[in-house]
Chains A and B, each alone.
Chain A
Amino acid sequence: MKYKSVFDIIGPVMIGPSSSHTAGAARIGKVARSLFGRQPKWITISFYGSFAKTYKGHGTDVAIIGGILDFDTFDERIKSALAIAHQLGINVTFSEEDAVTDHPNTARVKIGDDAGQLELVGISIGGGKIEITELNGFELKLSGNHPAILIAHNDKYGAIAAVANLLAKHQINIGHMEVSRKERGKLALMTIEVDQNIDQSVLDDLSLLPNILQVTKIVD
């Protein structure tokens, strides 16, 4: 079942006008912020399909920047998110792309600062629900509706088992898990959706496992 909670139907509370073009865009931005873990210095957004054609009328631009500023879908500050980003000295650029994507509501988000950068692709599938389909070049499927752990690791045997074992030791149940790699034996990414928020100590333990390169989380 795609929708599991009554609050997927009666909800979210949000700034209008569109659950897909406004609330969904804010959620895509917020996932990017959550994964980056800090306020970026620059933001580059590329809109595709319906997003590219109607983003100004729907406030998709302010919503996605609002999300990157860590605002929720119902935060009134979303309306002035572009001005707030400007005041914070964040460099923001938008582009409208002509390329045809799999989903009509697609956005590519690139954010960064002197210490690093992050790039993801998000789609908005209706009623405010979103999916992240690409992260730093890895294909994945992440709803952003559950807490999740993202683990960059070496594509070696035992890496996945070690992570699963450690989560089991902490009595953390895995709801959904995916592994993606660019090339055999090189860099890979584990995406693990779990039922409860994860303590930092668990992330620290995970990052100490062999072949694990980087651990980040998305909170519910």
Chain B
Amino acid sequence: MFRNVAELVQLAESKNIKISQVMIEQEMEIKEKTYEEVLSQMGQNLDVMERAVAKGLTGVHSFSGLTGGDAVLLQKYIQRGQFLSGEMILDAVSKAVATNEVNAAMGTICATPTAGSAGVVPGTLFALKNKLNPSREQMIEFLFTAGAFGFVVANNASISGAAGGCQAEVGSAAGMAAAAIVEMAGGKPKQSAEAMAITLKNMLGLVCDPVAGLVEVPCVKRNAMGASNAMIAADMALAGITSRIPCDEVIDAMYKIGQNMPTALKETAQGGLAATPTGKELQEKIFGVSLNKNN
């Protein structure tokens, strides 16, 4: 069993297999299941992600009215062809937003690694699908690779906004996605680790400050930026750029930053954007009372 990214990469390199295969083999061993059973279970998660993206792209709105419809706006913008950054990045962003808009509207999603950060991994995966034409099995492998890196973060740091801030949720999700993008694009295990490190380094310190405590503002747009961050970092790693700080040390830094982060900035709706005049106004409008009354 691998305990950190260095061991994960080492396992893949020594056996000359992909990161996804290392994760699949470990899951088979722990759950005493066959290769087909483990793949089929992940396939079900893939189906849920695909349906969530499709539903989000039809335009959904949350009960609070805070979020919804932005995935559609982006898709229409892409179709007009006047975009500045890049079609695939914007496609990934719109599909990440689509997933989180469905989540905010109490639709069905697959937590990757959490519900609040559920858009990043499927957003990038389904944007990549158009460019690389992966098989269904390769798409399932993408999720195992993402899962392998998330597994290390969850066990050595945290994937909870309440414990580590948004860097632990969207930051982890973006790092997981970057590593999986690299593998799908034909990169080496070590390059996946570099992509994860580069991504997470640029998400360090990100606080969890949801308006009214709801998984909507700024969560939906943070998933958008997580997806774009993952794509850029993957490209950088595939170009041969490495992180001066090893991936495991970046994860450790994220953990320690999370421990030092004030509670007001860790999913309590007490600080950051939640504590802005507009944030507080929205909160009172939605719940009828201030959430801060007991604090």
Contacts and interface: CB of A to CB of B under 8 A. Distances in A.
B118 to A, nearest CB: 8
B113 A9 contact: yes
Contact residues of B: prevailing secondary structure: helix
7 contacts: A15-B107, A16-B107, A16-B108, A17-B214, A50-B162, A54-B291, A125-B160
Nearest to B105: A16
B114 A13 contact: no
Given A9-B151, A10-B110, A104 B162 contact: yes
Interface stretch (B142-150, B231-239, B245-253): B142-150
Interface residues of A, number: 40
A50 B292 CA distance: 11
A15 B107 CA distance: 5
Interface residues of B, number: 60
A1 B155 contact: yes
Interface of A: 1-23, 50, 53-54, 56-59, 74, 76, 79, 98, 104-105, 125-128
Nearest to A9: B150
B45 interface: yes
B173 to A, nearest CB: 10
Nearest to B155: A1
Interface in B119-177: 121, 143-144, 146-148, 150-151, 154-155, 158-163, 176
Interface of B: 1, 3, 23, 26-27, 30-31, 41-42, 44-45, 48, 62-64, 102-116, 118, 121, 143-144, 146-148, 150-151, 154-155, 158-163, 176, 212-216, 267-269, 286-287, 291, 294
> Which of B45, B63, B109, B212 has the most A CB atoms < 10 Å from its CB?
B109
B157 to A, nearest CB: 11
A54 B214 contact: yes
A14 B102 CA distance: 11
A21 B291 CA distance: 16
CB-based closest 5 A-B pairs: A126-B160, A16-B103, A9-B150, A54-B213, A6-B147
